[in-house]
Every structure is written in C-alpha cells, then in structure tokens.
Amino acid sequence: MVSSDRLGDLFPTEEEVPESFRVSPLEQTEFLVDGELRQWGGASEHVASPVHIRGDAGLEQRELGCYPLLGESEALDVLDSAVRAYRSGQGDWPTKTVAERIQHMQDFTFRMKAQKAEVVNLLMWEIGKTAGDAEKEFDRTVDYIDETIDALKDLDRVSARFRIEQGVIGQIRRAPLGVTLCMGPYNYPLNETFTTLIPALLMGNVVIFKPPRLGVLLHRPLLEAFRDSFPPGVVNTVYGDGAKVIGPLMSSGKVDLLAFIGSSRVADILKKQHPKPHRLRCVLGLEAKNPGIVLPCADLDLAVRESVLGALSYNGQRCTALKILFVHRRLLDRFLEKFSQAVDALNVGMPWQADVSITPLPETERVHYMQELLDDAAGHGAEIVNRGGQSEATLFKPAVVFPANPKMRLYHEEQFGPVVPVLPFDDVEEPIRYVTQSKYGQQASVFGKDPDQIGMLIDALVNQVCRVNINSQCQRGPDSFPFTGRKASAEGTLSVSDALRVFAIRTLVAAKTNDLNKDILERIVRDHTSRFLSTDFIF
Ligand code: G3H
C-alpha cells in the first residue's frame, strides 16, 4: 500500500478537535423493548470512529463507546413485544385512527428535533460524514416525516368516501400488515432507516429496527423519544450479530414485512430464513453500479462537475453513486484531464472541516478493499491517471482508473468507495450493452446536448434502469420521486407516497346496495361504531 505522511497528518491531535465537535464516549447498555429501555449486562460491541487521533504513539482510532451485543433470547423478547403490541391487528396501535397515529408521530418529531445536535455529531464521528452532510441527513429525515404525514392525510381523505359500483357499496382503505423488521445501511444510517420505519409506523404496523453495524450509537439519543411517543411494543430495537439476532426473528415466521437496505446477498439469506416466504412482504434497496455515459456532444465542464459529485460525494459511499464512467473517445483526453484535476482538487480531511469532501472511510477494511481493486485493475492493464490512490489508516485519496475493462473487478463490483473506473467507447451500443448485461438496474446518467442522441439513449435505458438522469448525477431525491431499481438493485418502490402503499394493504368493506345494508352503514358512520369504516375527514 502506498502511504503518505501528509495524509496521516490530516488526522488531528486531541487538542486540534474543535471544542464544538468533541465527543464523549457513549456506553449504551439499553435496548428498547415493551415500551421500556431495558438494561443489558451482557457482552457489548466496542465502537471506534473512522477518525484517528494523532498522538505520541502514532495514529489511534477515537473510541466512541459501545452498544449491547444481544443474544437470541433478547431478540425473541423483542419479537414477542412487537407481536403483543400488534395483537393480530387488534392491538391499540393498528386499530388507532390515522389522525391519532399522526399525533403520535408529531410528538416523536418534536422530541427528535431536540436531539439534533447530538445525532449529527455522532453521525460525523461514527461514519465519517461531513458536518454539512450529517446535518442535511438529519433535516432531510425530519422533512421526510412531515411530508409523509401530509401524504397520509391526502391518502386518508380520498379513502374517507364510499364508492358505489355495480350495485355494490364499498369503502376502500389501506390497512397495516403486521410486524415489520427495518434494517438500514451504514451510509445513511438515520435517513434510510427512517424512510422505511416512519411510513411503516404511520400505516399501523409495529416495528423492530436494527441499526447498521456501523451507525448504531447515533440512534441512542432517540430511544427516549420513541419510548415516550408510542405505545409499548410499537417500536423496539435489536443490536448484535445478524446471524444471532436476526436469524431467529426471520425463522420464527412472525415477521410480516422486511424493509432492508443493504446487499442482495444478505437480503437473500433473510428471505430464505422465513418459513413461509409467500407471507413475507419485502421492500429492498440493494446494490447498484450506475453508469455515467458521456456522449461526444456533452458539455465537458458540466459532465465533469456532475461526474465528480456523482462519483465521489461522501467518498462514493452512496447506492446512487456513479460507479463507472463511459466516455466517448472524441472527448476522452480532455475529459480525463479535467476530471482528474477536479478529483485532485477535492479537499481531504476531517468531517468537521469546512469545504472537505473526502473524509475517513468507516473502517480500514474498506481501504484494503479499495487497494485490492486498484491492484486487480493494474493487473489488467489500467493505471491511476490522477494523483490519487494513496492511503493512511482510514483516509484514502480518490483514484481515477483508466482504462477499465471487463476483466477487472471494478467493471463488475459495486466499489462503494472513492475509486472511479473510466472506459472509452466509440459506439453508444457499448455502454448500452454494459447496462443490459449488468446484474444491476438502478439509475444511469447521460451527458450530452443533442436531443436525438439523448432521446435514443433514454429509450434504450428506461427498460433496464429505473431513472435516467440527463446532465445530472444519479440521486435518490427529491423524496417525492419514486426510488427503486430493477434486477438485483431493489424490490418495491419508495417515495414519500409510495412508501405508505408499500407498508399497507388495500382492504375494503363492501355490501350489496339494499335498504338494510345502507341503514347499517349509515348508522356505523354516524355513531362511530367502527374505526375503519368512517367518513371522518382529516384537515
Ligand atoms: O445510498 C443510497 C441513497 O439512497 C442515496 O441517496 O442519492 O440522496 O445520496 P442520495
């Protein structure tokens, strides 16, 4: 591994950490079950930051604390708590009105906002996200909750009326599905966990959530808010080794809904653990290998700017990142020069520093993996064409690798880090073939100015990926747009409004239109004898 003293010097000494960003170790000994923060006296997992501290003995990872490593029996307690709260759909939460659930969620949001500073600081220390991005992640999550509440009100208003068709009168609503297991990824540990957990709860499901292995402590400040905002057992947490704590949950057959953002390998294992897979609804966000395609008619500066953002925001650790670039040979030399310069101009440093783009990777294994990819690419004839590829501890300077080719791992694997493979092409059929043969199908970016060429490419791509971005990096937002993927990239669609549908099932009450039934329905609605069958309108 190439190492550089200069990179190591970017880590701070203890005194150099600004006062406002200092962090004290957080020894988490509780988990949320049955509406209480239950103490755990067993084994714990030690948490170390990607940020190292420079001291006399060299670089040392900053200790952040620990969290409980629960076992099977605690996981099953958590499951029982959720099953009890759901009570086969008869529990307090699933039978609450939409307006009541919204009230609980608003209480939660109020309490959550009070914890912002601590959550944002932990996001920076635990996963190395920049201060700006960590704050954005928090704010975006709060906005997501507010928008989801508005979308639910809209949905409920539409469902508040009866329909009469072919002599049948009916009211159609969306009802919960049951016990939901939510597991988010380390790169957006708060936002992506909450984009499933929040709609699942609002629709009346009960939730067990397991934070990602990297990104646990930042949820700790929110546990009281969950405990105090929802009835017992509606929100529960588990921590620990997936095989020990998630295996028993899935194989119990009592999980009705799996919301998982992670790898397709783990998703397959979880699905197969369920004894009756047909009873398990899944919402999955999986890997992607989104290509950027730079056409000969591209505006070079714009393509470079968006490609840098797309490939390297948060060190390339986004499922939506541009993970391979196809550049037409006519622009190739100029693109490589400008792109390499722009990548080299990115500031490398600590998450709290202003204007920093490249921060420490969450663990040294990620750095080793980047190096393996570079070695493999070199063995297949590629070079690093910028001034990147050096590493020290968890810092890794972004590398632009050229020419990539199908023999190398970087062509196929989702690198999820700061290494950008670039390929030349002569005929647009070449990137199209790549997309068609790829295991993944999330998004693509097309850079160009000619509407004919772009139009043709859009039509070739839209049946292979789920979003084609024109002269723009790939991204998930705005959150009101559908976020999904084909092939091994996703199952189900998430967006503010789609998520409400995913976490519920359309259920109706219907009756032949006759005097008896009309009278019954009228009296139920007038006297509020049902919580489901109702024409109440939420303002
Ligand atoms: O990691 C995948 C995220 O959903 C990407 O979201 O495009 O807003 O960064 P983003």
Helix (H) or strand (E) holding 281: strand 281-285
Return the best residue to mutate from 319, 416, 480, 489 for the ligand 1 pocket (most ligand atoms within 8 A of CB).
319
Neighbours of 388 (CB within 10 A): 24
> Which residue, chain included where needed, has tokens 């704590």?
245
Q: At what angle do helices 131-159 and 116-127 cross, to 10 degrees?
A: 120
- Sign of CA pseudo-dihedral 297, 300, 302, 308: positive
The CATH-assigned architecture of domain 290-481 is 3-Layer(aba) Sandwich (3.40)
Quick one: how far is CA 280 from the chain centroid?
20
Helix (H, G, I), strand (E, B) or coil at 374: helix
Query: Dihedral, CA atoms, 127, 128, 132, 134, nearest 10 degrees?
Result: 10
The rounded distance, in Å, linking the Cα atoms of 46 and 180 is 27
Query: Ligand 1: which atom is nearest the Cα of residue 192?
Result: 4
- Of 34, 12, 37, nearest to 22 by C-alpha is 12
pLDDT, residue 486, reads 98
What are the Cα distances from residue 278, in Å, to 475, 494, 504? Answer: 32, 21, 16
**Interval between CA 319 and ligand 1 midpoint (Å):** 6
Q: Taking a C-beta distance cutoff of 8 angstroms, is the pair 421, 378 a contact?
A: no
Query: Within 345-392, where are the H helices?
Result: 364-379
Q: Give the residue among 252, 243, 240 at the shortest CA–CA distance from 179.
A: 252
Please give the helix or strand (H or E) that residue 120 lies within, else none: helix 116-127
Tally of CA atoms within 13 A in the half-sphere of 454 that contains its CB:
17
| Residue 292: band (very low, low, confident or very high) from pLDDT cuts 50, 70, 90 | very high
Domain boundaries, the chain: 29-51+60-285, 290-481
Q: How many CA atoms lie within 13 A of 281 on its CB side?
A: 18
- 318 in ligand 1 pocket by Cβ < 6 Å? yes
Look at residue 351 and give its three-state secondary structure.
coil
Q: Rounded distance, CA 125 to CA 52, Å?
A: 10
Q: What is the mean pLDDT of the chain?
A: 97
Q: Ligand 1 center to residue 447 CA distance, Å?
A: 20
Cis peptide preceding 221, ω within 30 of 0: no
pLDDT band at 421 (very low <50, low <70, confident <90, very high): very high
Provide the residue type at 41 as one letter. Answer: G
Mean pLDDT, range 419-425, rounded to an integer: 98
Closest to 335 in 3D by CA, of 383, 295, 285: 295
Q: Contact, 230 vs 258, CB < 8 A? A: no
pLDDT digits (tens, 9 = 90+) for 187-241: 999 999 999 999 999 999 999 999 999 999 999 999 999 999 999 999 999 999 9
SS3 36: strand
CB 472 within 8 A of CB 271: no
pLDDT confidence of residue 6:
84
Indicate the CATH number for domain 29-51+60-285.
Answer: 3.40.605.10
Q: Is the CB of 194 under 6 A from ligand 1?
A: no
How large is the average pLDDT for residues 467-483? 97
Q: Is residue 5's pLDDT more than 70?
A: no
Distance in angstroms between the alpha carbons of the first and the last residue of the chain = 61
Q: Which of 188, 306, 481 to mutate to test the pocket of ligand 1 (most atoms within 8 A of CB)?
A: 188
CA 192 – ligand 1 centroid, Å: 8
Residue 3: the pLDDT is: 45
